[in-house]
Structure 1
Amino acid sequence: MNKSIKLAIWSALVTLVLIALPSIIHYAPQLVGKSFTDQEDFTYRMEQVYDNLSATVLNPIDLKKAEKEITVSQEEIDEYRQRYGTHSEQLDTIQQQYAERIAEAKSEKNETLLLALVKERNTKLEEIQKNFDSDRYVEDKIRSEKVKALASQIRETENNRDMNIPISYDLVNVETGERFTRGDVKDTSIFQRQFTEATGYFRANSAVYDNGYSDDSMEQGSTFIDNHAMEISNPAQYFKGTVSIPSDATVSGQLAKENDQFIRGKYMIYALWVLGALALVALCTVMKFQKEWVLQSRLAATYSRWKIDVKVALLLLNTFILTVYFKSAIYNIFNQFMYLRLGTISDLVISFLLIGVPFTALLAFQAVHVFRLYSEPGRLMKDWHESYMMQFAKDSRDIFNNRTMGVQFSLLLMIFFLAGVGLVGGVMHPSLLIIYVFCVLFVLLPALFIFVKKAAYMNRILAATNDMAAGHLMQAIPVKGTSQLAKHAANLNNLREGVRVSINEQAKSERLKTELITNVSHDLRTPLTSIITYTDLLKDETLTAEERAKYIGILDQKSQRLKTLIEDLFEVSKMASGNVEMVKQRVDLNQLIQQALAEHAEEFVERDLHIRTTLPEETVFAMVDGQKWWRVLDNLFINIWKYSLPGTRVYVNLQQVGSNARIVLKNVAQYELGDTTDELFERFKRGDTSRQTEGSGLGLAIAQSIVELHGGRMEVEVDGDLFKVTIDVIGG
Structure 2
Amino acid sequence: MNKNIKLLIWSALVTLVLIALPSIIHYGPQLIGKSFTDQDDFKYRMEQVYTNLSESTLNPVDLKKMEKELYVSDGDISEYRERYGTLPEQLDNIQQQYADKITEAKKDQNETLLLALVKERNIKLDDIKKNFESDSYVKDKIRAEKAQKLERAINETQSYQETNIPIAYDLVNTETGERFTRGDVEVTSLFTEQFNDARGYFKADSAQFDNGYEYPMEEGISFSDEEIATISNPPQYFEGTIIIPSDAAVLGSLAEENDNFIRGKYMIYALWVIGALALVALFTVMKFRKEWVLESRFATMYSRWKIDVKVILLLLTGSIVALYIQSAIYNAMYQLTSLRLGVIGNVIVSFVLLGILFTALLAFQATHLVEQYRKSGALERAFRESYSMQFIRDVRDVFSNRSIGIQLSLLLVIFFLAGIGFVGGFMDPALIVIYIFCVLFVAIPALFIFVRRAAYLNRILAATNDMAAGHLTQAIPVKGKSQLAKHAANLNNLREGVRVSINEQAKSERLKTELITNVSHDLRTPLTSIITYTDLLKDETLSSEDRAKYVGILDQKSQRLKTLIEDLFEVSKMASGNLEMVKQRVDLNQLMQQALAEHAEEFVKQDLHIRTILPDEPVFAMVDGQKWWRVLDNLLVNVWKYSLPGTRVYVNLQQVGSNARIILKNVARHELGDNTDELFERFKRGDESRQTEGSGLGLAIAQSIVELHGGRMEVEVDGDLFKVTIDIIGS
Distance 2:44 2:306 in 1: 54
How far residue 386 of structure 1 moved from its aligned partner, in angstroms, is 2.2
* Per-residue CA distance 1:256-301 (angstroms, 9 max, x = gap): 1111111111111111111111111111111111111111111110
Q: Which residue of 1 aligns with 2:311?
A: 312
Counterparts of 2:405 and 2:298, CA distance in 1: 48
- State the distance in 1 between where 2:102 and 2:273 align: 88
- The unaligned stretches of length 5 or more in structure 2 are 415-480, 492-574, 581-703, 705-731
**Distance of aligned partners of 1:306 and 1:139 in 2 relative to their CA distance in 1, 3 Å threshold:** same
1:89 aligns with 2:89: yes
**Equivalent-residue separation in structure 1 for 2:338 and 2:198 (angstroms):** 40
Q: Give the direction of change, closer, same or farther, for the CA distance of 1:111–1:245 in structure 2 (3 Å limit).
A: closer
Displacement of 1:108 in angstroms is 6.0
Rounded to whole Å, the distance in 2 between the matches of 1:353 and 1:108 is 77
- Contact 1:148–1:217 (CA<8 Å) still a contact in 2? no
Q: Which residue of 2 aligns with 1:234?
A: 233
Contact 1:215–1:223 (CA under 8 A) maintained in structure 2 = no
Paired position in structure 2 for 1:292: 291
Task: Give the 3 Å change call, closer, same or farther, for CA 101–263 of structure 1 in structure 2.
Answer: closer
Mapped to 2, the partners of 1:38 and 1:72 lie a distance apart of: 49
Q: Does 1:135 align with 2:135?
A: yes
Q: Which residue in the other structure is 1:256 paired with?
A: 255
Corresponding letter in the other structure for 2:141: K
**What amino acid does structure 2 have at the position aligned with 1:296?**
E
Deviation digits for residues 452-489 of structure 1 (CA, Å, limit 9, x no counterpart): xxxxxxxxxxxxxxxxxxxxxxxxxxxxxxxx999999
Assess if the C-alpha contact under 8 Å between 2:10 and 2:282 holds in 1: yes
Q: What letter matches 2:122 in structure 1?
A: N
Contact 2:17 2:279 in 1 (8 A): yes
Which residue in 2 is equivalent to 1:359?
Answer: 358
1:266 aligns with 2:265: yes
Task: Describe the shift of the 1:158–1:376 C-alpha distance in structure 2 as closer, same or farther (beyond 3 A).
Answer: closer
Number of the residue aligned with 2:301: 302
Give ranges in structure 1 of 5+ residues lacking alignment. 415-483, 495-671, 678-719, 721-732
Aligned counterparts, 1:105-254, within 5 A = 105=105, 113-159=113-159, 162-210=162-210, 222=219, 224-226=221-223, 228=225, 230-231=227-228, 232-254=231-253
- CA-CA distance at 1:115 after TM superposition: 4.2
CA distance in structure 1 between the partners assigned to 2:105 and 2:130 by the alignment: 28
TM-align CA RMSD: 3.6
Letter in 1 for 2:79: E
How many Å separate the matches in 1 of 2:211 and 2:298? 73
Map 1:447-458 → 2, pairs under 5 A: none
Evaluate the alpha carbon distance shift between residue 5 and residue 77 of structure 1 in structure 2; reply closer, same or farther with a 3 A threshold.
same
CA separation of 1:108 and 1:364: change in aligned 2, threshold 3 A: closer
- Do 1:149 and 1:216's aligned partners in 2 also have CA atoms closer than 8 Å? no
TM-superposed CA distance for 1:93, in Å, is 1.6
- Measured against aligned partners, the alpha-carbon deviations of 1:495-515 in whole angstroms (never above 9, x if no partner) come to xxxxxxxxxxxxxxxxxxxxx
Contact 1:56 1:157 in 2 (8 A): no
Equivalent residues in 2 for 1:637-648 (5 A)?
none
Partner of 1:35: 35
Residues 194 and 108 of structure 1, relative CA distance in 2, 3 Å threshold = closer
Say which SS state the counterpart of residue 245 (structure 1) adopts: strand
TM-aligned CA distance change 1:155 to 1:298, over 3 Å = same
Q: Classify 1:169/1:114 alpha carbon distance in 2 versus 1 (closer, same or farther; 3 Å).
A: closer
CA contact (8 A) 2:210 2:223 kept: no
Once residues 362 and 320 of structure 1 are traced to their aligned partners in structure 2, the CA distance between those partners, rounded to angstroms, is: 12
Q: Determine if the alignment matches structure 1 residue 276 to structure 2 residue 275.
A: yes
* Map of 1:78 onto structure 2: 78
Partner of 1:339: 338
1:519-598 correspondence to structure 2 within 5 Å: none
Structure 2 distance, partners of 1:490, 1:64, is 95
* Alignment-derived partner of residue 393 in structure 1: 392
CA pair 166-385 structure 1, distance change in 2 beyond 3 A:
same
* CA-CA distance at 1:62 after TM superposition: 1.3
Change (3 A) 1:115 1:8: closer
Aligned to 1:323, what secondary structure does the other structure show?
Answer: helix
1:675 and 2:578 aligned: yes
Aligned to 1:548: none
Structure with max Cα Rg? 1
| Equivalent residues of 1:170, 1:182 under 8 A apart | yes
DSSP-derived class of the 2:140 partner: helix
Corresponding residue number in structure 2 for 1:474: none
Question: Which secondary structure does the structure 1 equivalent of 2:319 belong to?
Answer: helix
Contact 1:307–1:388, Cα closer than 8 Å, also in 2:
yes
Q: CA shift at 1:314, angstroms?
A: 0.7
CA distance in 1, matches of 2:294, 2:110: 101
Counterpart Cα distance in 2 of 1:323 and 1:261: 28
Corresponding residue SS for 1:238? strand
Partner of residue 327, structure 2: 328
Q: How big is the shift at 1:229? A: 5.9
Q: Deviations over 1:634-663 (max 9, x none)?
A: xxxxxxxxxxxxxxxxxxxxxxxxxxxxxx
Alpha-carbon displacement from aligned partner over 1:401-423 (angstroms, at most 9, x marks no partner):
56568769999999xxxxxxxxx
The one-letter amino acid paired with 2:280 is V
Shift of the 213–331 alpha-carbon distance from structure 1 to 2, 3 Å rule, reads closer
CA contact 2:61–2:232 (8 Å) conserved in 1: yes
TM-superposed deviation, 1:72: 2.2
Instruction: Give 1:675's aligned amino acid.
Output: N
TM-aligned CA distance change 1:16 to 1:255, over 3 Å = same
For 1:237 and 1:314, the matched residues in 2 are separated by 63
Summarize deviations over 1:168-189 as a string: whole Å, max 9, x none: 1111111111111112222221
* Number of equivalences: 431
Contact kept? 2:398, 2:404, Cα under 8 Å: no
The whole-number CA distance in structure 1 between the counterparts of 2:577 and 2:45 is 111
For the 8 Å contact 1:131–1:138, the answer to whether it is kept is yes
CA contact (8 A) 1:169 1:183 kept: yes
**In 1, Cα distance between equivalents of 2:132 and 2:98:** 21
| Partner AA of 2:578 in structure 1 | D
Aligned to 1:376: 375
**Local SS of the residue matching 1:675:** coil
Distance in 1, Cα, partners of 2:307 & 2:9: 29
**1:380–1:227 Cα change, 3 Å:** farther
2:284 partner letter:
T
Distance in 2 between residues matched to 1:35 and 1:350, nearest whole Å:
32
The answer on whether the counterparts of 2:403 and 2:483 sit within 8 Å (CA) in structure 1 is no
Deviation per residue, 1:369-395 (Å, 9 max, x gap):
101111122222222222222333344
Matching residue's letter, 2:348: V
In the TM superposition, residue 75 of structure 1 has moved relative to its aligned partner by 3.0
Distance in structure 2 (CA, Å) of the matches to 1:46 and 1:290: 54
Structure 1's 95 and 251: CA in aligned 2 closer, same or farther, altered over 3 A? closer
Q: Secondary structure at the match of 1:72?
A: coil
Residue 230 of structure 1 aligns to a residue whose secondary structure is helix
Q: Is the 8 A contact 1:79 1:224 kept in 2?
A: no
Partners of 2:576 and 2:186 in 1: CA distance: 134
Q: Which residue type is aligned with residue 64 of structure 1?
A: K
Give secondary structure in 1 for the equivalent of 2:82: helix
| Segment drifting more, 116-125 vs 222-231 | 222-231
1:315 alignment partner AA: L
What does residue range 57-76 of structure 1 map to in structure 2 within 5 Å? Answer: 57-76=57-76
**Local SS of the residue matching 1:84:** coil
Check whether the contact 1:318–1:359 (CA below 8 A) recurs between aligned residues: yes
Question: Residue 135 of structure 1: CA displacement?
Answer: 2.2
What's the % identity of the aligned pairs?
A: 62
Q: Report the Cα offset of residue 228 of structure 1.
A: 4.5
**One-letter code aligned to 1:353:** V
